[in-house]
A and B are shown apart, each in its own frame.
Chain A
């Protein structure tokens, strides 16, 4: 049955399953483009194609200002995306191919302690690289994938398969307007984790970056690093039982419990300040004035060329909390 399978059939099935974007990347070409720990061949050999897919977030979340609500549903979108990737893999296997999903959350929890999901839990470095290779979008100033359709307001999933497909090609033009033209993400980041300074005329590729440790303080407020800090604090009080109990009996313990039990995949989607203000994406243009309510300073202009790129975190924290 494999002969009947094609890019078009896979794309059509993906859309039927509710995926918003579907692209194809060569696993071989990704080998040299991702850190060693994310090489596709470390996951499986004999799988020449990585189908990279995206599911958009809700435009309502650009307007919403309750961070925990956005965090919760961000996680649920990722969960649903994983389930959809399973269905897509099953579909491929029904054609005689072999396939399996590559979760958005499959990142290094050892040395990197989950930092590779910064910012906003959009997807692993492998899936972001695959999305760029497949032409779904380009990387923005904050290292998120920006897409024509939804800007950075997408989550990524993937399916590795032995079915060979002609891969897509990277877009030839950057979608991100960069620091000088826009810089809104850098201006609002509550952790000041996105570059705010560059020499005039420096290409985006040389400017974009992210202080992931800083980003994680907001985007993974109860993530693995914070959990390690919490346990360390407790162990250090082992000779002072009252102090130990004041830590264990605090609301923070309940917050960790809830994070692991219910928020789950949302552990990495705790902050979306940069996502909310990115003007790239047809969805953002459709929002018009409604989209500008997230940060009042940007209300006058969607492209915001006149915004002085200074950190607005204090204001942003107030308006987004």
Chain B
């Protein structure tokens, strides 16, 4: 058994669903920005990438905080496996550097960013392919996974990239038509390849996926500071927002991984998607045959649907203090 095979076996035994390797040098050469191995350390030879899936059962709940908790538990698992892989390598005399999966370097680029962009490492190492909405899609669990990366100076055997993209792009587009913040491309040139138009408006996405995160906090504070006449301080501090914010800091609930709309509807996932759409209300998020398209001479455009009516209010965080600021009733 080679070192790579032994490592893969160990990773699977510790809970990784799939795993791949890309040469650090080859990856470095492809990255146009600072999200590359040499930003963290010199002399690394391999990037080990793995994914761990979210429990399929968590998609049966309508309670977003419960789903969010499942995400964070899954991420804890990714961190644990990352540490165990690094320890495994170091016991064999190699260096191991796990890469933080969820903390950004605030000063790396113009906007905060991770030292590696994991989805691209995953695509280059053949763990999956990056979809229309820039989520990593995997054969077994579609986008419903979290990614871990460990760098090492061990020269491991690289695994090949997938030959076929898993995302059908505009032929599917379910993620784009349901996205509550319209962060995913709804149109593309006819016959263009997925790699030419996949994209995400990250700011828009964050307003849904990080509903009680830093952006909504600043949005709310700005409104509270500049509203004239100033709102009643007691009503401001009594607002439910601060309790939710406290909870988000304490347990991450709502701080991020708080929107799963594109996860619910993404069809790739041999091991989980059929189970998910057996759940009646998940099936009806986008009833079969309900993605509309307009075809132009040189463009295809999908008809935006948005999330089901009962979930719309969840994503309207700019309305948090609306009634307090208008002198109305505090919700």
Contacts and interface: CB of A to CB of B under 8 A. Distances in A.
Nearest to B41: A64
B226 A241 contact: yes
Given A60-B96, A64-B41, A261-B255, A69 B115 contact: yes
Given A69-B40, A261-B249, A262-B103, A64 B222 contact: no
A248 B218 CA distance: 8
A191 B76 CA distance: 33
B96 A58 contact: yes
A290 B103 contact: no
Given A63-B41, A63-B95, A248-B218, A72 B255 contact: no
B144 to A, nearest CB: 21
Nearest to A238: B225
A290 B43 contact: yes
B40 A258 contact: no
Contacts of B119: none
Given A66-B40, A80-B80, A245 B97 contact: no
B314 interface: no
Nearest to B43: A63
Interface string A211-253: 0000000000000000000000000000001001100110101
B211 to A, nearest CB: 14
A232 to B, nearest CB: 17
A61 B95 CA distance: 8
Nearest to B93: A286
A247 B153 CA distance: 42
A60 B103 contact: no
Given A69-B40, A76-B79, A59 B95 contact: yes
A201 interface: no
A253 B214 contact: yes
Interface residues of B, number: 40
Interface in A40-70: 58-61, 63-66, 68-69
A249 B98 CA distance: 32
Contacts of B86: 58, 60
A76 B76 CA distance: 10
B151 A258 contact: no
A145 to B, nearest CB: 20
A254 interface: yes
Contacts of A249: 218, 221-222
B97 A251 contact: no
A1 to B, nearest CB: 31
Nearest to A293: B42
Contact of B103 (A18, A72, A293): A72
A261 B79 CA distance: 15
Interface in B264-291: none
Given A254-B112, A290-B95, A59 B100 contact: no
13 contacts: A59-B96, A69-B100, A77-B83, A248-B218, A248-B222, A255-B106, A257-B213, A258-B214, A260-B249, A261-B249, A261-B252, A262-B252, A290-B153
In the A-B complex, list the 10 residue pairs whose CB atoms are closest, starting with the nearest: A60-B97, A60-B95, A64-B41, A66-B40, A72-B100, A257-B214, A262-B103, A255-B106, A254-B214, A60-B96
